[in-house]
Amino acid sequence: MKTFSWKLLLVFAVIVAAFIYILPTLEMRINHKKEPTLWPRKEINLGLDLQGGMHLVLEVDTEKAVESNVERIAQEIKERLKKKRIRNVAVDRIEGTKISTRVQNEEAVSKVKDLLDDEFRDLKLTKSTDIGTTVFTLEIPDRETKDIQKLAIDQALETIRNRIDQFGVAEPDIRRQGDKRILIQLPGVKDPQRAKDLIGRTALLEFKLVDDTGNLQAALKGDVPPGREVLYEVDEDPETGRTSKIPLLLKRRTLLTGAYLTDARVQIDSQYNIPYVSLEFDKKGARIFERVTAENVNNRLAIVLDQKVASAPVIQEKISGGQARITGNFTMEEARDLAIVLRAGALPAPVIVLEERTVGPSLGADSIRKGLISMCIGGILVILFMIFYYKASGLIADFALMLNIILIAGGLAAFQATLTLPGIAGIILTIGMAVDANVIIFERIREELALGRTPKAALDAGYDRATLTILDANVTTLIAAVVLFQFGTGPVKGFAVTLSLGVIASMFTALILSRMIFDYILLNRKAKMLSI
Amino acid sequence: MQVIKPDINLDFIGRRKIAFYLSIAVIIISILSLIIHKGPKLGIDFEGGTLIQVKFLSSVKIDDIKVGLNTIGLGKSSVQGFGEKSTNEYLIRTESALVTSEGFSSQLKQALESSVDSDAEIRRLEMVGPQVGEDLREKALFAMFYALLFITIYISGRFEMKWLISAVMAAALIGAVYILNIFDVSIPFLIIAALIVTLILFWFLELKYAMGAIVALIHDVTITVGVFSIFEKEFTLPIIAALLTIIGYSLNDTIIVFDRIRENIKKHHKKPMAFIINRSINETLSRTVLTSVTTLFVVVTLFILGGGIIHDFAFALIIGVLVGTYSSIYVASPILLTWQQRGKTRK
C-alpha cells in the first residue's frame, strides 16, 4: 500500500486545490456579489464575449504629434524674430515636419543665423538660396522625433486611462500594443458608443481671438489673410436635431490652451436651466487669461475645441481669478463627458479606431446559457454512453470526467485565465476527448483479459502499455493549443487555455486517478472480476 | 458491452485503392471549389469590414432592413438571418470598415426601427480595419505554420526515435523558411513551401511514419477547408482555432494506430506488412470508433445548441473529427504500406 500513498496525497491535494479555487466564483455567483469575498479571492474571469463589453484597438497618429511640435517651434521662432525686430522673414512649416525660414533682405541673414544658432541649436539646420532669398531649413533630429512619438503614445495612454477612470468602468484593461497602438478592453460597459466617443476625442481646448474686422467673405472664398484661419461654430438644436454652421475668422495664434486647466465641472445655468462646463485655470493660466481679457475688452474670444468653435462670447471686462465657462446646447451627458475629457487633458495626437468589437450584455448572457446547456447535454450523453459501454468501469471514467471539469474550472481561476465562448467550446470538446485516455486503457485491459490474464495483471499491462500512447497522443493537441495561445487574440486564447487545461487534466485523471481507483477496488475489495 | 468484437478483422488495407480514389476525388473537389470561389471566403477578422448583429422584437423582412440601412448610407451591406428563425436576429455585414463615428449606433438603431417598425437591439458590433485584418491574417497563418513546424519536429523525433534527425529537420525547415522570407514570399506560399520541404526531407530521411502522419494531416485540413468553401462559410479566428484542433485530433488518431503497428512489428516480425497494418487497425478500431463517437456527441450538441456564434466552429470540428478518423485508417496507414513495399521491391 505504501507504494502509492504519495500518489494519493498528490491527487487529494490537487482536488482540494481545485475546489478552493472554484469556491469564490461559486459563492460570488450564488450571492450575486460583484467581488469574490472568499479566500483566495480569485474568480474565473469572463471574456468580453460572455459578459458584454467593448474591445478597442486605437492607433495614435504620432506623425501629428511631431507636426504640432514643429508648429509650436515655428511659432516660437516667429515670436523671437518679432522681439528682435527682424522683419521680412517668413517662417512656415513645410513638408509636415520641417520649418523653412525665408529671409528676404541680405542684412538680416546673419542676425537670423545668430538667433537660430543661439536659441534653436538642437535642430538640424541647412542653408540654401532660392532666387535671391536665403532659406534656412530646420529639422528635428531623428532621435528626437522618435522621442516625441514615444512620448505621444505614453501620454495618450495616460490620458485615456484617466478618462476611463473618470467615466467609471469596473476593471478596464488599457495597454500598449506593438509600436503605436493602444488596446482597450472595457468589460460590462453600459453605453459603448459614449465610452468610445469619450476615448477617441482629442479634446484640444484653445482660446483664440475673433477677427471681426477682417473680410470673412473673402476668406471663405479662399483668400485667408496671413495669420488668420476660418473655423466653424457648429450648433445643434437638441429638439429638431438640425445643425447650423457659422463660419468665424479667427486669429491663428493660440492664446491659452487646456493644458493650464486644473479643473472642469458641470454646472447648471440657473437662469435657463441648461448645463455648462465651468473651467478653472492654474496660476499661470489665470495670469494669461487676465492679461488676454484685459487687452481685448469688447473683442470676441473664441473657445475652440478640436478645431470647432464651441462659443465666441464678447469680452465684457478683464477677467481675473482664472475662471471661464463653455456654454452651448449641451445635454447633461454631453456636458459631463466634456468635463471629463477636459479634466483628463487633451490627447497629444489624434487617435484612429482600428478595431472595435462590442458585445451587448444580453448576447453575452445568451452565450453563457447556450454554452452551459450544450456542455450539460453533451456531458450527459458521454456519461451515459460510457456506463452503457463499459459498465462499472465506465462509471470510473465518468467520475474522472467530472473531476476533469472541476480541475479545468479550478485551473481557470488559479491562473486567472479568461473564460470565453470558444473557451466553453474547448471544455465541451475536452469532455468528448477526455474519455479517450480511459478508452485507450480500457480497450487495452479488455485485450489483456481476453488473452486470459488475471484482472490485476491485465490492469497493470493495460496501464503500462497505454501510458506512452496517451502521452504521445495528447502532446500533439497540446502543441496546437500552445501555438494558438501564442498567436490567438481574446476569445481564441480562451479556447487555447481550456483546451490545454483539459488535456492536462484528462491525462492526470486517466493515468493517476482512475488507476488508483482500480487498484483500490482490486486490492482492498479483493475483486475477482473487472467489470469492463 | 462490446459493439466491435475483439476478433474483428475487416480488410481495410484491401480496400485502400477505393479509399485512395475517394480521397483524391474529395481533395480535387475541395481545391476546385477553392479555385471557383477565388480562395477561402474570409470573414471580417481577416478582410476587414463591419459586422452588426441586430435583434428585432417582432418578425421583420430583410428588404425592410435594407431600406433602413440605405437611409444611413449602408445600402451595400449584406443582410442575412442569424441563428434560429424565431429569434428574429440578423447579421448585417459591410465590406468597408466603418468609422463608427459619434452616435453611429443610435443612428443605426433609429434608422432600422423606423424602416421595419419593430424595436431593434444592437447586440454585437464588430469593426475590423483593413490594417488589423491584415495583421490578424498574418498571425493566423503564422499560427498554422508554427503548429505544423512543431508537430513535424515532434513526430519525426517521436515516431522514429531519431531526435537527431528531427533536429536536422527543424534546422532545414527553419533555414528554408528563412531564405524564402528574404525573398518576401507571401505566407500562404511559405506554408506550402515548408510543407513541400518537409515531405521531401521525410522522403530522403526515410521517415515513413512521419510522412504518413503529415500526409494525413494535409488531407484533413484540405478537406475541411474545402467543405467550408463548398458551403460558402466564412473563415474567422475561431475557425483557425478549430483547424489547429483538428490537426491535433487527427494526429492523435494516427499516433495510436502507428504505435500499435510498431508494437505488432516486434510481435509478428515474420508476417507481411500488409497483415500487420491491417491487424493493428482492427485492434485499435474499437478505440478509434469510441473516441470519435464521444467527441462527435459533444460537437454535434454544440452545433445544435451552442447558438449562432459558435455554429461554424462546431461545424468545422464535426468535419474534422469525421475526416480525421477516416484518414488515420485510410490515409496514414496505406502510405506506410506503400512505402514499405517500395522499399522491398528495391531490395
A83, containing H or E segment:
helix A62-83
Q: Are the beta carbons of A429 and B299 separated by less than 8 Å?
A: yes
Residue type, A324: A
Question: What band does B100 get if pLDDT is binned at 50, 70 and 90?
Answer: low
Q: Are the beta carbons of A425 and B302 separated by less than 8 Å?
A: yes
What is the rounded distance in angstroms from the CA atom of residue B4 to the CA atom of residue A80? Answer: 94
Q: Are the beta carbons of A357 and B121 separated by less than 8 Å?
A: no
Do B285 and B202 reside in the same domain of the chain? Answer: yes
Which of residues B112, B128, B144 is at a domain's end? B128
Residue B169, pLDDT above cutoff 80: no
Residue B265 belongs to some domain of the structure: yes
- Give chain A positions within 8 Å (CB) of B99: 352-353
Sign of CA dihedral B290, B296, B301, B306: positive
- B267 within 8 A of B72, measured Cβ to Cβ: no
Question: What band does B346 get if pLDDT is binned at 50, 70 and 90?
Answer: very low
Name which of A292, A255, A261, A302 is nearest A278 in CA terms.
Answer: A261
- Mutation site, A436, A446, A448, interface B, largest B CB count within 10 A: A436
Residue B8 belongs to some domain of the structure: no
Q: Are the beta carbons of B294 and A436 separated by less than 8 Å?
A: yes
3-state secondary structure A45-62: EECHHHHCEEEEEEEECH
What is the least distance, in Å, from the CA of B21 to any CA of chain A?
A: 28
Do B35 and B182 reside in the same domain of the chain? Answer: yes
- A47 within 8 A of A490, measured Cβ to Cβ: yes
| A333 reaches B (C-beta below 8 A) | no
Residue-wise pLDDT tens digits, B329-341:
899 888 888 887 7
Nearest CA in chain B to A382: B294
What is the rounded distance in angstroms from the CA atom of residue A277 to the CA atom of residue A326? Answer: 5
According to the model, what pLDDT value does residue A142 have? 87
Q: Running DSSP on this structure, what letter comes out for residue B15?
A: G
DSSP H helical ranges for B77-207: 104-116, 130-160, 163-182, 187-205
Do B111 and B163 reside in the same domain of the chain? Answer: no
Residue B106, pLDDT above cutoff 70: yes
Nearest CA in chain B to A357: B126
- Give chain B positions within 8 Å (CB) of A492: 237-238, 240-241
Give the count of beta carbons closer than 10 Å to the beta carbon of residue B13: 21
Do B112 and B243 reside in the same domain of the chain? Answer: no
Name which of A445, A441, A412 is nearest A513 in CA terms.
Answer: A441
B204 grid coordinates: 530522403
Do B168 and B123 reside in the same domain of the chain? Answer: no
Residue B230, pLDDT above cutoff 90: yes
A380, containing H or E segment:
helix A361-414
Selecting from B129, B150, B306 the residue whose C-beta is nearest the C-beta of A354 gives B129
- Give chain B positions within 8 Å (CB) of A487: 139-140, 142-143, 146
Residue B333 belongs to some domain of the structure: yes
Burial readout B159-190 (b: 16 or more C-beta within 10 A, e: otherwise): bbebeebbeebbeebeebbeebeeeeeebeeb
Residue-wise pLDDT tens digits, B14-51:
888 888 999 999 999 999 999 998 888 888 888 888 89
What is the least distance, in Å, from the CA of B36 to any CA of chain A?
A: 29
Do B68 and B28 reside in the same domain of the chain? Answer: no
Which CATH number fits the domain that encloses residue B17? 1.20.1640.10
What is the rounded distance in angstroms from the CA atom of residue A202 to the CA atom of residue A199? Answer: 8
Residue B218 sits at the vertex; the CA angle it makes with B217 and B220, to the nearest 5 degrees, is: 65
What is the rounded distance in angstroms from the CA atom of residue A203 to the CA atom of residue A189? Answer: 22
| A485 reaches B (C-beta below 8 A) | no
Domain A63-143, CATH: 3.30.70
Q: How many CB pairs under 8 A join A and B?
A: 223
| A196 reaches B (C-beta below 8 A) | yes
Do B175 and B197 reside in the same domain of the chain? Answer: yes
According to the model, what pLDDT value does residue A188 have? 86
What is the three-class DSSP state of A44?
coil
Q: Are the beta carbons of B291 and A433 separated by less than 8 Å?
A: yes
Which CATH number fits the domain that encloses residue B93? 3.30.70.3400
Name which of A302, A163, A314, A336 is nearest A234 in CA terms.
Answer: A302
| A363 reaches B (C-beta below 8 A) | yes
- Give chain B positions within 8 Å (CB) of A421: 309-310
User: Does the interface predicted TM-score (ipTM) exceed 0.90?
Assistant: no
What is the least distance, in Å, from the CA of A177 to any CA of chain B?
A: 12
| A365 reaches B (C-beta below 8 A) | no
A360 grid coordinates: 451587448
What is the rounded distance in angstroms from the CA atom of residue A114 to the CA atom of residue B231? Answer: 74
- Mutation site, B253, B304, B309, interface A, largest A CB count within 10 A: B309
According to the model, what pLDDT value does residue B317 have? 95
A250, containing H or E segment:
strand A243-251
Residue B347, pLDDT above cutoff 50: no
- Give chain B positions within 8 Å (CB) of A359: 123-124
What is the total residue count of chain B?
347
Q: Running DSSP on this structure, what letter comes out for residue A300?
A: B
Do B39 and B60 reside in the same domain of the chain? Answer: no
Strands (E), A77-197: 89-94, 98-103, 124-130, 133-139, 173-177, 181-187
What is the rounded distance in angstroms from the CA atom of residue A55 to the CA atom of residue A175? Answer: 12
- B72 within 8 A of B50, measured Cβ to Cβ: no
According to the model, what pLDDT value does residue A525 have? 64
Residue-wise pLDDT tens digits, A231-245:
998 877 666 667 788
What is the three-class DSSP state of B347?
coil
Residue-wise pLDDT tens digits, A349-379:
889 889 999 998 889 999 999 999 999 999 9
Under 8 Å CB-to-CB from A1, ≥6 apart: which residues? A523
Spans of chain A, pLDDT less than 70: 1-4, 237-241, 525-530
| Angle of helix B208-230 versus helix B187-205 axis, rounded to 10 | 150
- B56 within 8 A of B68, measured Cβ to Cβ: no
Do B235 and B307 reside in the same domain of the chain? Answer: yes
Q: What are phi and psi of A45, to 5 degrees?
A: -75, 140
- Give chain A positions within 8 Å (CB) of B248: 476-481
Domain boundaries along the sequence of chain A: 2-52+360-524, 63-143, 201-358
Q: Running DSSP on this structure, what letter comes out for residue A47?
A: P
Q: Are the beta carbons of A447 and B6 separated by less than 8 Å?
A: yes
Selecting from B99, B143, B255 the residue whose C-beta is nearest the C-beta of A484 gives B143
What is the rounded distance in angstroms from the CA atom of residue A181 to the CA atom of residue A59? Answer: 4
- Mutation site, B297, B311, B327, interface A, largest A CB count within 10 A: B297
- Mutation site, B50, B301, B313, interface A, largest A CB count within 10 A: B301
Nearest CA in chain B to A191: B105
Do B96 and B39 reside in the same domain of the chain? Answer: no
| A192 reaches B (C-beta below 8 A) | yes
Q: Are the beta carbons of A492 and B283 separated by less than 8 Å?
A: no
Residue B4 belongs to some domain of the structure: no
Q: What is the pTM of this model?
A: 0.86
Cα-based torsion angle of the residue sequence A306, A309, A310, A313 in order, rounded to the nearest 10 degrees: 140
What is the three-class DSSP state of B122?
strand
Name which of B18, B19, B25 is nearest B330 in CA terms.
Answer: B19
Selecting from A193, A357, A495 the residue whose C-beta is nearest the C-beta of B103 gives A193
Q: Are the beta carbons of A377 and B245 separated by less than 8 Å?
A: no
Residue B75 belongs to some domain of the structure: yes
Residue B7 belongs to some domain of the structure: no
- Mutation site, B122, B244, B258, B283, interface A, largest A CB count within 10 A: B244
The CATH class of the A2-52+360-524 domain is mainly alpha
Cα-based torsion angle of the residue sequence A376, A377, A378, A382 in order, rounded to the nearest 10 degrees: 100
Pair type for strands A173-177 and A351-359: unpaired
What is the three-class DSSP state of A239?
coil
According to the model, what pLDDT value does residue A427 have? 92
Which of residues B128, B159, B190 is at a domain's end? B128
Q: What are phi and psi of A300, to 5 degrees?
A: -100, 140
End-to-end CA distance of chain B: 47
What is the least distance, in Å, from the CA of A225 to any CA of chain B?
A: 33
CB-count exposure of residue A390 (10 Å: 0-12, 13-18, 19+): buried
Nearest CA in chain B to A430: B295
Radius of gyration of chain A (CA): 35
Residue-wise pLDDT tens digits, B178-212:
787 777 767 777 778 888 888 888 888 778 888 88
What is the least distance, in Å, from the CA of B177 to any CA of chain A?
A: 18
- A436 within 8 A of A509, measured Cβ to Cβ: no
Percentage of chain B beyond pLDDT 90 is 23
What is the rounded distance in angstroms from the CA atom of residue A334 to the CA atom of residue A337? Answer: 5
Nearest CA in chain A to B285: A443
A352, containing H or E segment:
strand A351-359
Please report, for residues A254, A351, A360, B174, the alpha-carbon distance to residue A65 in angstroms, rounded to integers and kept in the order given: 17, 11, 35, 40
Residue B5 belongs to some domain of the structure: no
Do B194 and B57 reside in the same domain of the chain? Answer: no
| C-alpha neighbours within 13 Å on the C-beta side of residue A318 | 8
Equal fold, A2-52+360-524 vs A201-358? no
Q: Are the beta carbons of A431 and B310 separated by less than 8 Å?
A: no
Count of helices and strands (H, E) across chain B: 12, 4
Which of residues B87, B104, B128 is at a domain's end? B128
What is the least distance, in Å, from the CA of A284 to any CA of chain B?
A: 34
Do B248 and B260 reside in the same domain of the chain? Answer: yes
Q: Running DSSP on this structure, what letter comes out for residue B233?
A: P
Range(s) of the domain holding residue B203: 13-43+132-346
What is the three-class DSSP state of B297?
helix
B11 grid coordinates: 480488410
Q: What's the total number of domains in chain B? A: 2
- B205 within 8 A of B159, measured Cβ to Cβ: no
Residue B2 belongs to some domain of the structure: no
Selecting from A352, A432, A481 the residue whose C-beta is nearest the C-beta of B294 gives A432
CB-count exposure of residue A241 (10 Å: 0-12, 13-18, 19+): exposed
Strands (E), chain B: 49-56, 78-82, 89-94, 120-128
- Give chain B positions within 8 Å (CB) of A388: 1
- A476 within 8 A of B252, measured Cβ to Cβ: yes
CA of residue A7 relative to chain centroid, distance: 44
Q: Are the beta carbons of B297 and A388 separated by less than 8 Å?
A: no
B339 grid coordinates: 512505402
Residue B56 sits at the vertex; the CA angle it makes with B55 and B62, to the nearest 5 degrees, is: 95
The CATH topology of domain A201-358 is Gyrase A; domain 2 (3.30.1360)
What is the rounded distance in angstroms from the CA atom of residue A114 to the CA atom of residue B347? Answer: 91
Nearest CA in chain B to A385: B294
